[in-house]
Amino acid sequence: MNLWGSGARLACVQTIVSTCALTASLSVASPALANGTVAGTNIDNVATATFDLPGGGTSTISSNTITLKVDELLDVTVVSADPGDVVTSPAATNQLLKFTVTNAGNGNESFALTAVDTGGGDDFDPSVTSVVIDSNGNNAYDAGIDTVYVAGANGPNLTPDTSVTIFILSTIPGGAGNGNRGRVDLSATAMTGSGSPGTSFAGLGQGGGAAVVGATGAQAGDDGYYAISAATLSLVKSAAVTDQFSGNQQIPGATITYTLVASAAGSGSVANVQVSDPVPAGTTYKLNSLTLDGGALTDATDGDAGRLNSNAIAVSLGSVAAGSSHTITFQVLID
């Protein structure tokens, strides 16, 4: 809204002048914010007219003063504050989503919060256990310090242009599968009122004017997602040397036993795991020394999981479940 233009137009209507050398003055007590002049601010406007006197010289008269009180616009924004899906695992508790709620209006306002965890279009429903206000303003969740939101009791009160971080804590269902995503929707609604933009609540605005629903409808929301982490695979190799003199010297004729441990972490499973290891130069593979989880494997390509191909051992582990591991060993002789 162009306050200057509006004020000047009103002054012209109120002031009868013949020769109109019209000027307008506008005084605003409070500085304008990004969201507009603070609700309750008086906008005073006085027009003046200057005219020539018959005997020479000029005179100036002033109009009456028009004072308009700025009403309160009710506007809010809600934005997910997580950089992406929050990685979690089945049955995990107190899993955090972060949102930023901003008072986009021009007056102090309290906001009611609603978290919905049953939305469709995703893979599972998280179970929201609490909505927490970052009451110490450090943008981090502090259990026992930050304020647990209670509907109707302690909705965050925000001055114009200010934001607060809201945390959603959820329990993840135990049956959620690897790669699944689950959503929580957080909405914030101005407690003075909401509805179609332009809806007015007389006398409820800051400073005694009206509270008027702004372009956001005085209600906003956003989604945050949990994602069940993909399982990760690690492969750790070690070696033990036994020489022909019952010692551990790395001398020609000594045996090196290599041990490979493949482990899956996270949740779900890692599919089609194939482990291979070339027989090192300067060594000779000890025939049929290959084992998997303590059981012997043949070097032939046959029904078991292991084989020797092109002077490299290869073992097919198939699907490896998170939290499990497989141990492969084979032996070489130092040439």
Shortest CB 62 distance to Ca ion, Å: 35
Q: What's the 3-state SS for the chain?
A: CCHHHHHHHHHHHHCCCCCCCCEEEEEECCCCECCECCCCCEEEEEEEEEEECCCCCEEEEEEEEEEEECCEEECEEEEECCCCCEEECCCCCCEEEEEEEEECCCCCEEEEEEEECCCCCCCECCEEEEEEECCCCCCCCCCCCCEECCCCCCCCEECCCCEEEEEEEEECCCCCCCCCEEEEEEEEEECCCCCCCCCEECCCCHHHCCEEECCCCCEEEEEEEEEECCCEEEEEEEEEEECCCCCCCCCCCCEEEEEEEEEEECCCEEEEEEEEEECCCCEEECCCCCEECCEECCCCCCCCCEEEECCEEEEEEEEEECCCEEEEEEEEEEC
Please count the other Cβ atoms lying within 10 Å of the Cβ belonging to residue 325: 17
242 scored as a contact of Ca ion (CB under 5 A): no
The verdict on 138 binding Ca ion (CB under 5 A) reads: yes
**Site membership for Ca ion, residue 304 (CB under 5 A):** yes
Question: By CB under 5 A, is residue 293 in contact with Ca ion?
Answer: no
Q: Is 75 in the site for Ca ion (CB under 5 A)?
A: no
Residue 161 found at the interface with Ca ion (CB under 5 A)? no
Question: Applying CB under 5 A, which of residues 50, 200, 242, 298 lies at the interface with Ca ion?
Answer: 298
Q: Which residue has the tokens 């073992």?
A: 315
Give dist(CA 145, CA 158) in Å, integer.
19
Is the CB of 209 or the CB of 306 nearer to Ca ion? 306
Report in angstroms how near the CB of residue 223 gets to Ca ion at its nearest: 10
Q: Is 71 in the site for Ca ion (CB under 5 A)?
A: no
Nearer to Ca ion, 56 or 120 (CB): 120
Spatial separation of the C-alpha atoms in residues 97 and 42, rounded to whole Å:
41
In whole angstroms, how close is the CB of 103 to Ca ion at the nearest point?
A: 9
Other CB atoms within a 10 A radius of the CB of residue 250 amount to 11
Residue span binding Ca ion (CB under 5 A) among the ranges 88-96, 201-209, 215-223, 258-266: 201-209
Q: Is 302 in the site for Ca ion (CB under 5 A)?
A: yes
How many of the chain's residues bind Ca ion (CB under 5 A)?
19
The single-letter code of the amino acid at 136 is N
Q: How far is the CB of 149 from Ca ion (least distance, A)?
A: 13
Shortest separation between residue 199's beta carbon and Ca ion, angstroms: 14
Q: Could you give the string, one character per residue 181-200, with x where binding to Ca ion holds by CB under 5 A and - elsewhere?
A: -----------x--------
CB-nearer residue toward Ca ion: 125 or 222 = 125
226 near 181, Cβ under 8 Å? yes
Give 193 or 266: the residue with its C-beta nearer to Ca ion: 193
Which part of the chain contacts Ca ion (CB under 5 A), choosing from 87-95, 135-143, 272-280, 310-318?
A: 135-143
Is 125 one of the binding residues for Ca ion (CB under 5 A)? yes
Residues 84 to 123 in contact with Ca ion, rule: CB under 5 A:
107, 109, 119, 122
Give me the least distance between CB of 222 and Ca ion, in Å please: 15
Question: Of residues 11, 216, 226, 307, which one binds Ca ion by CB under 5 A?
Answer: 307
* 146 lies in the site for Ca ion, by CB under 5 A: yes
To the nearest whole angstrom, how small is the minimum distance from the Cβ of residue 67 to Ca ion?
21
Interacting residue with Ca ion among 306, 308, 317, 326 (CB under 5 A) = 306
Sheet with 312-321: list strands edge to edge.
269-278, 312-321, 306-309
Contacts with Ca ion, residue ranges (CB under 5 A): 107, 109, 119, 122, 125, 134, 136, 138, 140, 142, 146, 192, 206, 298, 300, 302, 304, 306-307
